[in-house]
Structure 1
Amino acid sequence: MRRALALLALAATCWPARSWTFCDAPGECVCRFHERPEEDLMRQHIDCSYRRGALAGNRTLPPRAYSLDLSSSALKIIRSGPFLRSKSLQELVLKNNDIADIEEGALALPDLRRLDLSYNRLQRLDGAVFRSIIKLEFLNLANNNFVSFGKLTFHPLRDLREVILNNNNIGPALRDTDLFDRDGFGLTNKIQKVSISGVGLGRVHDNFFVDAYDIRELIVANNDLAELFEIPFTLEYLDVSDNPIREISGEDFADLTALKVLKMNNISIGSVPAHALAPMRALVRLDLERNLNLTEFSALAFGREVLEDADDFTLEELSLKSCRLRTLDQRLQTPLGRLSRLDLQGNRWHCDCRLAWIKQFQMDPNDYEHLRCYSPKSLFNSKIFELKEKYFRCPRERGGGGGGAGAAVGIIAFCMFSSAAALWLFWYLPGCPPRGRALPAAAYAALPLHAHAAALAPTAPSAPSAL
């Protein structure tokens, strides 16, 4: 009898522990259903962010759990246990913790599709950790401490579509291998989005993306690239901002017929040369902001055809904000006039007759508040869209169309008049006798006295001649 009572007491004690879920403790986690209209009404979203000790007390996930947020919860290690075991969970957020290790088998989530481990202290992530989450499609490992593929492999993740590896020092490891190498990081060829910003990448070797058959989005910003690399022709989105890229040309974009968005902010180019952007026939958005060396944008940058007929010009948004441009060729008025958004603010515009055509564009007020003149000095900091046409003058217009020639004629006439006056003074003024005439009597009176006396003195008799 005593044994039976002891068993009942033990069962009563253990039962609450087994049924204690993240949603059972009021004030601990926030649980809600139906987060988006298209979702299943019974999907449960659990928010335990900023809850220290959220994984304590043998808590489990409810049967209909869809997402779990454990961000900023001071987690240091993810151990194997009942906490993260679920057949329904599809999204798990563990970002902004101090996680340095994940034990093998800790993520027993066979239907998990999205995992966020960014902003932790991970240095290694064994492939065994991924064996229970092989359906994973999105993985964020940004801002951790990974350095090589020897401690980071993706081979089990055959369905992975998007990976973010920003701000991990894996750049040196990519000199001799690539993300898709079966002997290296082992990303699946099904990958569509890759972000490797701030990884210390100095060079992308040839055939780096040869096994990326379906990559659509690539972000390689904030690295040490001095030149563009062989860009996959399947790309629709490319961001190479914050790299010391010095030159671009049409050859760099020759095969990018599917590219829709291109961002080249804060790079080191000095010009956008002729035909550099012409190959990208599907381009919809182009960002060239904060390029402090950019002083020239060729009228033929998009090709010659769009200057005459922009019907096939697909670009909708262009930003040249905060560069060093002084003027734009008026021939660009036809293609740029078709844009839905154009941002030219923060440049060093020289407001003369060659720039007045910009005022004809229809811009959002937010895009011309800082569209101002840098020179001439009389118009410095004037808002271009508030200036009247008469202020956009070129120097040749101020003299009625022939100011330079008129000045030259005036100088020549002045010189001729001055020469004639000098000659007249030389010939006719007193004290300047004409050549070939005898001096008048009055002129002799002006001779010195000693000269006059010498002229009147008697002449000494000459000696007699010898007979």
Structure 2
Amino acid sequence: MRRALVFLALAAACCATRGWTFCDAPGECVCRYHERAEEDLMRQHIDCSYGRGAHAANRTLPPRAHSLDLSSSGLKIIRSGPFLRSKSLQELGLKNNDITDIEPDGLALPDLRRLDLSYNRLERLDAAVFRSITKLEFLNLANNNFVSFAKLTFHPLRELREVILNNNNIGPALRDTDLFDRDGFGLTNKIQKVSIGGIGLGRVHSNFFVDAYDIRELVITNNELTELFEIPFTLEYLDVSDNPIREISGEDFTDLTALKVLKMNNLGIGSVPAYALEPLRALVRLDLERNLNLSEFSALAFGQEVLEDADDFTLEELSLKSSRLQTLDRRLQVPLGRLSRLDLQGNRWHCDCRLAWIKQFQMKANDYEHLRCYTPKSLFNSKIFELKEKYFRCPRERGGGGVGSGMAVGLIAFCMFSSAAALWLFWYLPGCPPRGRALPTAAYSALPLHAPTATIAPTAL
């Protein structure tokens, strides 16, 4: 009898242990192997997103787990224990939960490389949390409640390459320090990608990136910047969109010889002045969309050389969509003609002879569907690429010479008529003898005021 009880107890323990793994949660998790061709055939990808009961029984990870997604699963606190303990897990998704705290040993994942904690309620992270995940390379903390570096430090993360801190109110904490200061947030100098959009940043001091030796991508959108800052020369990707920046110039981009992508959407700039983009010799993509004050794009914006010889012009994509441009200088035809994509839609184009040249570009249908005339009224909302060349006329070329020419002709005719009338009055008005022809005054004095009415008889022959 005793032996039977022991056997049943062991069997129950084995079944219970087997049922605790995430992959044995029916209806809560989906486990797959070999998602990518270059992967180990035995790596497991576990998807428990939206599974509210996946973590209820303190399930554990299988020994070959590679990634685990617990997004939108109702998590509130990550406690220390067997729940998130694995020597093989490299990717962990915990976004869109209600997490307010992670205990120091809550992430016992020594081989973890990617961690997504975005859209939670975190206000602090103990440095001890990071000591168990020192191989971390990617960290997403966007849309949490962090406010200062006193409750968020990255010192233990020596291998961190990319960090996303969007929409945390840490801007005020960065007024006198920076992300790389050891007395502040302490990001490692190995960092290559930083995203700090919507953090309430109003100014970037001159030494902000002094310790960022290898930063390649910077997203600093949706802040309160009114001017560009000292940009690290190592950057290849820069997005400063949705800031009230009022002016740009060539000095802002000096020495940025590696920059390939520049996004300046929804700024406060009114023009792209001459030589503003000339230093960007490696630029491949430029976005200048939704700039509602932008009414001028200088023909010399890329410099003088590219107007004559665009062989070294590297730009491939340019978007000026949804701004307030009315025309473009024809001299830009050479450099813009080399682009693989040009989007000019949504501007207030004035369709006259100065703009007709853009019809020569080869554009995809998606890039000219909303490329339309704004003025003159007779062409309002007309598709530029469907208009015939004869409609692109300047005032002096329109029927009869146009308004300006008509006024000139009218003025000349008026002057000629006035001159003729004056001459006629001068020569033929009674009482004003013609100049150079003197008439005898006696003849006029001998004539009566009224001619006699009597009939004169004919003289006999």
- TM-score greater than 0.5 by the shorter chain: yes
User: 1:326 and 1:425 mapped to 2: Cα distance?
Assistant: 58
- Between the aligned partners of 2:428 and 2:161, the Cα distance in structure 1 is 98
Match of 1:80 in 2: 80
Show the counterpart of 1:98.
98
SS of equivalent residue, structure 2 residue 22: coil
Tell me, in whole angstroms, the C-alpha distance in 2 between the residues paired with 1:298 and 1:379. Answer: 25
Deviation at 1:81, TM superposition (A): 1.4
> Do the aligned partners of 2:257 and 2:281 also contact (CA within 8 Å) in 1?
yes
Structure 2: runs of 5+ lacking an equivalent:
433-438, 453-461
2 CA distance for matches of 1:354 and 1:73?
A: 59
How big is each residue's C-alpha offset from its partner over 1:301-345, in whole Å with a ceiling of 9 and x where there is no partner?
000000000000000000000010010000000000000000000
Amino acid at match of 2:297: F
2:46 is aligned to: 46
Q: Please report the TM-score for the alignment, with normalisation by the length of structure 2.
A: 0.91
**Deviation of 1:40 (Å):** 1.4
Report the Cα distance in structure 2 between the residues aligned to 1:405 and 1:438, rounded to whole angstroms: 50
Show the counterpart of 1:191: 191
**Residue 414 of structure 1, CA deviation:** 2.3
Partners of 1:234 and 1:272 in 2: how far apart? 24
After superposition, the C-alpha distances for 1:142-176 in whole angstroms (9 at most, x for unaligned) are 00000000000000000000000000000000001
Distance 1:428 1:406 in 2: 35
1:278 alignment counterpart? 278
Q: 1:297 to 1:344 in 2, by over 3 A?
A: same
Counterpart in 2 of 1:58?
Answer: 58
**Alignment partner, residue 15 of structure 2:** 16
Confirm or deny: 8 A CA contact 1:18 1:58 kept in the other structure: no
CA distance in structure 2 between the aligned counterparts of 1:287 and 1:350, rounded to whole angstroms? 22
Contact 2:372–2:382 (CA under 8 A) maintained in structure 1: yes
Please list, as runs of the form range in 1=range in 2, the aligned pairs for 1:19-38 lying within 5 A after superposition.
19=18, 20-38=20-38
| Equivalent-residue separation in structure 1 for 2:288 and 2:121 (angstroms) | 34
| Residue in 1 that maps onto 2:117 | 117
Question: What residue number does 1:465 align with?
Answer: none
Are the equivalent residues in 2 in contact too, given 1:136–1:157 (CA < 8 A)? yes
Taking a change above 3 Å as real, the CA distance of residues 66 and 438 of structure 1, as seen in their structure-2 partners, is: farther
SS in 1 for 2:252: helix
Separation in 2, partners of 1:440, 1:37: 128
Cα RMSD after superposing both structures: 2.3
How far 1:28 moved relative to its partner? 1.8
Distance in 1 of aligned mates of 2:123 and 2:425: 94
Q: Is the 8 A contact 1:353 1:394 kept in 2?
A: yes
> 2:274 is matched by which residue type in structure 1?
A
Q: What is the match of residue 314 of structure 2? A: 314
Q: 1:132 to 1:7 in 2, by over 3 A?
A: farther
Residues 56-65 or 191-200, more deviating:
56-65
Fraction of identical pairs, as percent: 80
- Distance in 2 (alpha carbons) for counterparts of 1:442 and 1:428: 15
Q: Kindly provide the amino acid, as one letter, of the partner of residue 17 in structure 1.
A: A
Q: Which runs of 5+ in 1 are unaligned?
A: 446-467
| 1:418 equivalent in structure 2 | 421
User: After superposition, where does 1:387-398 map in structure 2 within 5 Å?
Assistant: 387-398=387-398
From the superposition, tell whether residues 171 and 443 of structure 1 become closer, same or farther in structure 2 (CA, over 3 Å).
Answer: farther
CA distance in structure 1 between the aligned counterparts of 2:430 and 2:77, rounded to whole angstroms: 112
Shift of 1:12: 4.0
Deviations 1:225-245 (A, max 9, x none): 000000000000000000000
Taking the aligned partners of 1:108 and 1:138, their CA distance within structure 2 comes to: 17
Q: Give 1:412 shift.
A: 1.9
Q: Residue 120 of structure 1 aligns to a residue in which SS? A: coil
User: Is 1:331 the equivalent of 2:334?
Assistant: no
Residue type of the alignment partner of 2:416: A
Q: Which residue of 1 aligns with 2:455?
A: none
Partner of 1:455: none
Normalising by structure 1, report the TM-score: 0.90
- Distance in 2 between the 1:128 and 1:140 partners? 18
Per the alignment, residue 182 of structure 1 pairs with 182
Looking at structure 2, the residues matched to 114 and 139 of structure 1 have their Cα atoms a distance apart, in angstroms, of 6
Matches within 5 A, 1:214-233: 214-233=214-233
Quick one: structure 1 residues 438 and 61, their matched pair in 2 at CA, closer, same or farther if it must change by over 3 Å? farther
Once the two structures are superposed, the pairs formed by residues 47-446 of structure 1 within 5 Å of their partners are: 47-398=47-398, 399=400, 403=405, 406-423=409-426, 426-427=429-430, 441-442=448-449
> Cα offset for 1:424?
5.8
Taking the aligned partners of 2:141 and 2:430, their CA distance within structure 1 comes to 99
Q: Which secondary structure state, in structure 1, belongs to the residue aligned with residue 374 of structure 2?
A: strand
Q: Give the Cα separation in 1 of the matches to 2:305 and 2:446.
A: 85
8 Å contact 1:58–1:83 — kept in the other structure?
Answer: yes
Q: How far off its partner does 1:441 sit?
A: 3.5
After TM superposition, give the deviation of residue 418 of structure 1 in Å: 3.3
Deviation at 1:113, TM superposition (A): 0.2
Following superposition, the deviation at residue 410 of structure 1 comes to: 2.3
* Greater Cα offset, 269-278 or 76-85: 76-85
* Distance (whole Å) between structure 2 residues aligned to residue 17 and residue 57 of structure 1: 11
Counterparts of 1:374 and 1:88, CA distance in 2: 60
Instruction: Write the letter of the residue equivalent to 2:378.
Output: S
Pick which of 359-368 and 394-403 moved more: 394-403
In structure 2, distance between residues paired with 1:61 and 1:185: 32
SS in structure 2 opposite 1:410?
helix
Query: What is the deviation of 1:426?
Result: 4.1
Listed one character per residue, the Cα deviations across residues 327-368 of structure 1 (whole Å, up to 9, x for unaligned) are 000000000000000000010111111101000000001100
2: CA distance, partners of 1:205 / 1:383 = 47
Please state how far the C-alpha of 1:428 moved relative to its aligned partner: 7.1
1:387-428 per-residue CA deviation (whole Å, 9 max, x = no partner) reads 111111111223569936544432321221233345467437
Cα deviation, 1:25-50, whole Å, max 9, x if unaligned, reads 32220000111122111110000000
How many residues end up aligned between the 2 structures? 440
2: CA distance, partners of 1:16 / 1:303: 74
Name the CA distance, whole Å, in 2 between partners of 1:64 and 1:264.
45
1:208-266 CA-to-partner distances (Å, cap 9, x unmatched) read 00000000000000000000000000000000000000000000001110000000000
